[in-house]
Every structure is written in structure tokens, then in C-alpha cells.
Amino acid sequence: MKRLAVIATHPIQYYAPIYQRLSEALGGNVRVFYAGVPDAEKQGEGYGRAFQWDVDLTSGYESTTGAESMGRLRKELADGCFDAVLVHGWHHPFYRDAIRLAWRLGVPVMVRGDSHLRTPRPWWKRALKAPVYRRLLRRFSCCLAVGTWNADYYRHYGVAEERIILSPHCVDNERFERQAAECRPQRLELRRQWQARDDETLFLFVGRLHPMKRVPDFLQALAACRSRCLPVRGLVVGDGPDAARCRQLAVDIQAPVTFAGFLNQSAMVRAYVAADALALPSDARETWGLVVNEALACGLPCLVSDQAGCGPDMIKPGVNGEIFRCGDVVDLIGAMSMYVTGKGKMDPKSEAWRGLVEGHSCEAAARGILAGLELGKDGDDCLEGVEA
């Protein structure tokens, strides 16, 4: 039975279910080493408020947290307790320390991140990092690709095809599907709670209110639809540094929208059930957009910017949503108007829709990681020059 060490900065709501599946598959031979667990203030950075996630993120697998993590990892790697190490990147010092340690002891290291080549970078930065990243990425025992653009990223830096293994970005589909079914009888009540009339098409945005999310595009599209006498309403779930600007813009342009503020994990499903479609207008800094996974698991079609990383993998136009040009409000209006007129109605129970959801499950992600365990050893330490 293979044994796996996972290195993570802190418990993350999207990763914990994967660790649980890995632990089940490996007979408990998984240990996650966390750098720490953030307090409410730290957890809330970027969200506009202090909070803790209200779902259990540490049960179902073994873990070590805090100052003892690196010391225990060092001892157990030296004692041969693990066959491989999984890291979620290399930009955090905790990751780099673990990678160096594993390589010195001859333990294979797998990497699972979500970088892609469309993220805006100055040309000089790309030129400087290219030789370093080519050497670095080819030294991992395998690169676990969360999606199409992420796989292209690894290929760009010279990773051999046989060492690129799909481990798709995912959410706990089972939990979202179950909770959505439980909430669905209250759908009309939930809509009224957020000021949506029964005859209105309710478009939902979920995420941190940050400039990269381009929430003003969403607000402008809502206002334009309403000016054309289309019965629409928007619901914005989230908070963040752009919140005040977005709220003021909504007032200025008379956008028909309700700001729900931050909703924790257990409450998020209510918004998905209340809405008719999700909109994700983000620019290329959105390396994926896991709210799309959540929405699709709840049976909600998604309108996704062509610069968001999840688009090529999660959205099949005409089946479970549409792709629109990032920053093109007119194109977003066109996609939204299809749902208002009824042309965009889709069946979340269709085989094609279900296939897209099930292909991005925690089980699928775990299978990719397990396949990576079967590959060979890494090369030499090559972290010198990697940006912090």
C-alpha cells in the first residue's frame, strides 16, 4: 500500500474532501502537513470580514499542524514513512522547504497547482522565469493538471506528456447536490428573501469583490437588460476590497441587484437554488473559478468569461452555460438575454451535463493523484531562482 505526505499551507474547503478520498483509497496511509490554521481575522483577509469556514475540514484523514509539521515531516521522510510527497505549488516557503527536504532524501514530489499561460505577466518576467521553470517543473515526478490550460502550462515548460496527469479541480459534488435537493422546496421563499420576483430571471455572482472579478461588468449588464424592459435581477454574494465601489455603481446606474454580503459554506447552496444562472465575468487572473463547479453541481447553468480558467473544461455552450468575451458587456448582455427569453433553458439532468460534473469530482481528482504515485523519482534540487 502506497503512503503519501501532502503539504498544504492551511485547511482549504475544496481540498479536504480530496484528502478524505485519498485516505480511504490508501487505507489511511495519508498525512497532511499544514503550516498552520488561520484565525478568523487571517481567514477573512480579502473577504472583507473575519470568519471561519463552517464545514469540517480536518476529519477523515490524518494531519499535523503548525510548528511541529516540518520537524515531523523531516523525521518521517528520513525514516522512509512515505513513498511520495504532494505539494500544491512552490511559491510559499513552506512548500519550498518541503520540496528541498524530499529531494535531498530521494522522495518523489508531485505538484498540483492551477497556473496557466493567460495570466497577465510583464514580458521581462516571463523571460526571466522561463529557464528556471523549465528546469523546476521537469524535476517533479509528475505534474497533476487540474484542467486544459494548466496542462498546457506544463507542456510549455517542457514537462513530458507521460508525466502530466489529470487531477481535475473539483468540489464536493455529493454535498452540494444533497443540500440543493433539501433547499429546493424553499426556492420561491429564498428568491423573495433576496428581492427577486417570481417572474424575474435571477442572475447570481459569487466571489470576493475584487477588481479581477469584474463585478461592474455584471452590474452594467443587469442595468442594460432592465433598460430594455427585460425582467432581470442580480444577486451578488461576497465581500471584499471592491465592495463599496460596486455598491455605489449599482446605485448610480440603477442596476436591479441585491448585495447579500458574505455567505459561509453551509449557506451558499441557498443562493444557487434561488438563482436561474451564475455569471463569472473574471479576467485571466481567475485561474479557475470553483464557484462554477459548485453551481453546476446544484443544477445551475453558468455564463463564464473566456479568460476564466474553468471555461474550456466546465462549460459546453448550449448544454450547461455559455462563454462570453471578457470585458465585453454587450456579449454578456447577449448571453443573459437568452435566459430571460427562454432560449437558454438547459437540463441539469442530461447526460452531457452530468458527465461534466462527474468528470470534476473529488474521486476523479484523487484517482489522478493515485496514478501519480506510480511514477518514478525526481531529479536534483532546482529551486534556486524560483520567485517567492
In this prediction, residue 382 carries a pLDDT of 53
In this prediction, residue 380 carries a pLDDT of 47
> What single letter denotes the amino acid at residue 231?
P
In this prediction, residue 383 carries a pLDDT of 55
CA dist 284 and 298 (Å) reads: 25
Please list the pLDDT of the chain residue by residue as tens digits (388 residues).
Answer: 899 999 999 999 999 999 999 999 999 999 999 999 998 888 888 787 888 998 999 999 999 998 889 999 999 999 999 999 999 999 999 999 999 999 999 999 999 999 999 988 888 888 888 999 999 999 999 999 999 999 999 999 999 999 999 999 999 999 999 999 999 999 999 999 999 999 999 999 999 999 999 999 999 999 999 999 999 999 999 999 999 999 999 999 999 999 999 999 989 999 999 999 999 999 999 999 999 999 999 999 999 999 999 999 999 999 999 999 999 999 999 999 998 987 777 899 999 999 999 999 999 999 999 999 988 655 444 555 554 3
In this prediction, residue 278 carries a pLDDT of 98
Helix H or strand E segment including 87: strand 84-87
Q: Which residues pair with 4 in a beta bridge?
A: 30, 84
Query: Which residue is it, cell 498525512?
Result: 31
In this prediction, residue 377 carries a pLDDT of 57
Q: How many CA atoms lie within 13 A of 271 on its CB side?
A: 27
Q: Which residues pair with 113 in a beta bridge?
A: 145
- Which pairing describes strands 232-237 and 257-261: parallel, antiparallel, or unpaired? parallel
Query: Which residue is it, cell 433576496?
Result: 194
In this prediction, residue 387 carries a pLDDT of 47
Closest of 7, 9, 12, 6 to residue 53, by C-alpha:
12
- CATH 3.90.1300.10 for domain 4-170+362-372: no
Domain boundaries, the chain: 4-170+362-372, 173-358
Tell me which CATH homologous superfamily contains domain 173-358.
Answer: Glycogen Phosphorylase B; (3.40.50.2000)
Alpha-carbon 27 to chain mean position: 27
> Cell triple for residue 193?
428573501
Tell me if 4-170+362-372 shares its fold with 173-358: yes
DSSP line for 198-220: TTSEEEEEES---GGG-HHHHHH
Phi, psi of 311 (to 5 degrees): -50, -55
> What single letter denotes the amino acid at residue 136?
L
